[in-house]
Amino acid sequence: MFSLAGKWALVTGAGSGIGAAIAATMAQAGAHVVVADLQEAGGRTVVDALVGAGGSGEFARLDITDEAAAVALAGTVRARHGALDVLVNNAGIGHVGTLLTTSGADLDRVLGVNLRGTFNVTKAFLPAMLEAGRGSVINMASAAGLEGLQDRLAYATSKHAVVGLTRCLALDHARTGVRVNCICPGRVETPFVKSRLAEYPDPVAAYREMSSTQANGRMGRPDEIAALALYLAADESAFVTGAALAIDGGMTAGSGRLS
C-alpha cells in the first residue's frame, strides 16, 4: 500500500460517497485528513469513522464557492502544519438537461461549484505548496469531461473545464515540485446514485441500465476511485502530472455509450 505517513491531505466534498472513500483511504495510508464539506453532520460522521479505524482527521466546514472561506481555511492549515501535502478537489454537483432545458442560472450554478469551486480552493492552497516545493493536487473531473454526454450539458461542460484547468495548472507549475492531475470516473455507485435510482418506477431496471453504460457492465465503487487518488497523492506517482485519468469500466474506450 502507498504511504502518506506524516502528510496532511484535505478532501472537499468528503462527507459522503467518493469523497468519504478518499478520506478513509488516505487516513488508512497514514495521512492526517481534513474532511471538508458544507454538510457538518456527514463530515463529522466520516471523521468519527476514520478516527475509529485508527486514522487521524478533523472536520472543516467549507463552502467551496466562497473564495474568502477557502483562503481562511488555507491560512489555518498553514499556521498549524505549513503547506498542505495533498489537495483533493472532489466536491461537485450535477444537472440534467440539454441546452434548451438548461437555464443560464442552472449553468452558473454548476460552473460555480464544479469549476469556480475547484479554482477557489486550489488558488487558496497553492501558494504554500509552491513555497514548499512539493504537493499533489487532485481534481475530480468525469468521463463526461473527456467525451460528450447526452442530456448533461452543464455538467459535462463543467467537467471539460476541470480537465482544462488541471492541464494548465500542471504546465504552469511543472518544475516546482507541485503536481496536478485529475480523475475522470464513469458511473459510480454512491449514495447519491442510489437515491436517484429509488426515484425510478423500476429501480432494478434502472440500475441495470446505468450499469450497462460501462463497457464492463457494472458501475464503479467509491473505494476503486479512492485507490487511484491514493496513488496520485503518493510519492510513487512523482512522474505523473497533467494527466486526466479515466477510471470508467471502459466507458470512454470507444463503446460510444455515455447516455
The tens digit of pLDDT for each residue in 209-250 reads 878 878 888 888 999 999 999 999 999 999 999 999 999 999
Structural contact between residues 35 and 56, judged by C-beta atoms closer than 8 angstroms: no
Structural contact between residues 245 and 182, judged by C-beta atoms closer than 8 angstroms: yes
- Whether residue 174 sits in one domain with residue 155: yes
- Whether residue 196 sits in one domain with residue 135: no
- Whether residue 208 sits in one domain with residue 120: no
- Whether residue 144 sits in one domain with residue 233: yes
User: Which is catalytic among the residues 155, 200, 207, 231?
Assistant: 155
- Whether residue 157 sits in one domain with residue 179: yes
Residue 232 — φ and ψ, nearest 5°?
Answer: -65, -25
- Whether residue 110 sits in one domain with residue 215: no
Helices (H) and strands (E) in the chain, counts: 9, 7
Closest C-alpha among 26, 61, 73 to residue 232: 26
- Whether residue 143 sits in one domain with residue 234: yes
Q: What is the CATH number of the domain that holds 235?
A: 3.40.50.720
User: Is 155 a residue of the active site?
Assistant: yes
Q: DSSP state, 237?
A: G
- Whether residue 211 sits in one domain with residue 110: no
- Average pLDDT in the 143-161 region? 95
What's this model's pTM, rounded to 2 decimal places?
Answer: 0.93
- What is the number of structural domains in the chain? 2
Query: How much is the pLDDT for 7?
Result: 98
Q: Has residue 249 been placed in a domain?
A: no
- Whether residue 212 sits in one domain with residue 93: no
Structural contact between residues 86 and 6, judged by C-beta atoms closer than 8 angstroms: no
Least confident range from 119-128, 163-172, 250-259: namely: 250-259
What is residue 214's three-state secondary structure?
A: coil
Asked whether the predicted pLDDT for residue 256 surpasses 90, the reply is: no
Q: Has residue 252 been placed in a domain?
A: no
| Strand pairing report for 86-89 and 178-185 | unpaired
| Containing structural domain, residue 138 | 8-185+222-243
- Whether residue 209 sits in one domain with residue 91: no
- Whether residue 126 sits in one domain with residue 81: yes
Least confident range from 17-26, 54-63, 171-180, 193-202: namely: 193-202
Let me know if 103 is exposed, middle or buried by CB neighbors in 10 A (0-12, 13-18, 19+).
exposed
Q: Has residue 91 been placed in a domain?
A: yes
Query: How much is the pLDDT for 259?
Result: 47
Q: Has residue 136 been placed in a domain?
A: yes
